[in-house]
Amino acid sequence: MEYKSIPPSPQHFKPRVIIHGGAGNITPATLPPHLYTRYRESLLTIITKTHHYMVTPDDYFSLPSSLSTATYAVTLLEDNPLFNAGHGAVFTRDGYNELEASIMVSHPGSYPKRGVGVTGLRHIRNPILLAKAILEHGHDDLLGRPSQYSSPSLSENMLNVPSAQGHTLIHGLAAEQLAKQYSLEIVPQSYFYTQTRWEEHTRALDREKQTPGKHLATYSEEEYLPQGTVGAVTLDQQGVITVATSTGGLTNKLTGRIGDTPSVGAGFWAEEWAEEGDPSGYAELRYRPGPAVVISVALKGLMADCLATPFKYNPVYNTPKLVTTRSMAVSGTGNGDSFLRTAAARTVGAMARFGGVSSVEAVSKVAGPGGELEKSAGDRWGLTGEGAGGIIGIEAVEVQDGKGKTLEMRCEILQAFNCGGMFRAWVDRRSHAHFRVWQKDQQTPYGYESEDIVGIDLREAANKGEIVSS
């Protein structure tokens, strides 16, 4: 009888998720208690629903991909009028809602475009679904294959848009025509109207007009004018990380302005790479062998008198080869023009990949206090909202030996901001959901931030979408 060894089961990452709902001049003075409660309940509800979706297997016992999970989370944010995306999008100076969205995966797999951005949308209910559809059809589009969704004939008001072709960033009417071909939901412009956003729009314009040179219609020290985005970063079992971001842009932006959200490398980025050793961790030290016997200095001297001089040379240890695969993805929120000027998201990736630092450190150097975003504002920092923002993300690391055996798998949630606050929620390793606006352990009128978030165990949630209070 022939016996065959059973191959070990493949190791998987534990799925993770973090979401954000914008950043900027968010302080206890600009965020009254009733609004704080609404943001808290909304983000905890969305993170709870997303976590449930993320860990629920399909009919074939497979968990959703990070692409599906990130898109799911952002559609919930787009449908919530509290946030500056979709139904809660801000207005341009001319009173229009112009939406943008993007999506990107750390490993191309079957998505060779890797990243896609759409902008100038006025009729697409969920812009993130359009970005996802363009990404999913990228393989055929790059090869020039006929799209099953293309219109057989062009009407008088239609553009010649057979597919997304090889494009990464698509604007306006062409993007909306693709959405129709993909059968995405089309809505009238009135769908995006909310009274709150309209009042913010008109109030800021009036303030700018009454005090020329002192106030901008895009920023206020007295209130939180949305200038950020919504976003989600998710990790699936296979180690693929997806970033999905959506926004209405800056309050009172110029009509036609394109921000960082759809611009690859500015408001979003994702990538994967391999490197020798484990420069951003401790595996290299953990798995380096030491000598079997340690000889004291005195004994070395005695042996040297009796024997040849082997101690003239340092022993060379055979260190096992380590290969580390690192994946990361980040989503930015805040003043998009500053993200564009600094290529903020790509800068985080470049620091992590070529600087030999963890993504945690890289995010802090870009979006943390005193980081690249803040520096980009120069002496205008704190006056106009320029440079203000934050970044969320995920880094996943797998360390293997020279034979391909996995020695370690680890994951980190990334978050840093340099402004008043950043709305965010995430699920930790223990399946506990967390919500936070300000810095950890910062004392506020609502108590210490760290005390307000603990004890939300999603494994004990009885129903899908249930709000679990701490």
Which positions are annotated as active-site residues?
Answer: 229
Rounded to whole angstroms, how far apart are CA atoms 192 and 197? 10
Residue 414 CB-density burial (10 A; 0-12 exposed, 13-18 middle, 19+ buried): buried
- What residues form DSSP beta bridges with 268? 264, 331
Rounded to whole angstroms, how far apart are CA atoms 151 and 142? 18
257 annotated as ligand-binding:
yes
Q: What are phi and psi of 47, to 5 degrees?
A: -70, -35
Q: Nearest CA to 415 among 257, 232, 164?
A: 232
The torsion of the CA quartet 248, 21, 358, 408, rounded to 10 degrees, works out to -120
| Amino acid occupying residue 92 | T
For tokens 């009254």, what's the residue?
Answer: 32
For tokens 């701490």, what's the residue?
Answer: 470
231 annotated as ligand-binding:
no
DSSP assignment string, 281-301: SSHHHHT----SSPPPHHHHH
DSSP assignment string, 4-60: -PPPPPPP-PPPEEEEEEEEES--TTTS-HHHHHHHHHHHHHHHHHHHHHHH---TT
How far from the centroid of its chain's Cα atoms is residue 426's Cα?
11
Helices (H), 287-358: 297-306, 336-342, 344-354
Element housing 407 (H / E): strand 406-417
For tokens 């709902």, what's the residue?
Answer: 21
CB 394 within 8 A of CB 362: no
Rounded to whole angstroms, how far apart are CA atoms 300 and 294? 10
336 annotated as ligand-binding:
yes
- Cα angle at 187 between 105 and 148, to 5 degrees? 55
Rounded to whole angstroms, how far apart are CA atoms 355 and 358? 9
Say which residues have a Cβ less than 8 Å from residue 439's Cβ, sequence separation at least 6: 449
Residue 257 to residues 69, 98, 105, 419, Cα–Cα distance (Å):
29, 9, 26, 23
| Amino acid occupying residue 241 | I
258 annotated as ligand-binding:
yes
335 annotated as ligand-binding:
yes
86 annotated as ligand-binding:
no
Q: Nearest CA to 113 among 98, 135, 96?
A: 135
CB 18 within 8 A of CB 425: yes
CB 436 within 8 A of CB 455: no
Detail the residues annotated as belonging to a binding site for substrate: 257-260, 333-336
Detail the residues annotated as belonging to a binding site: 257-260, 333-336
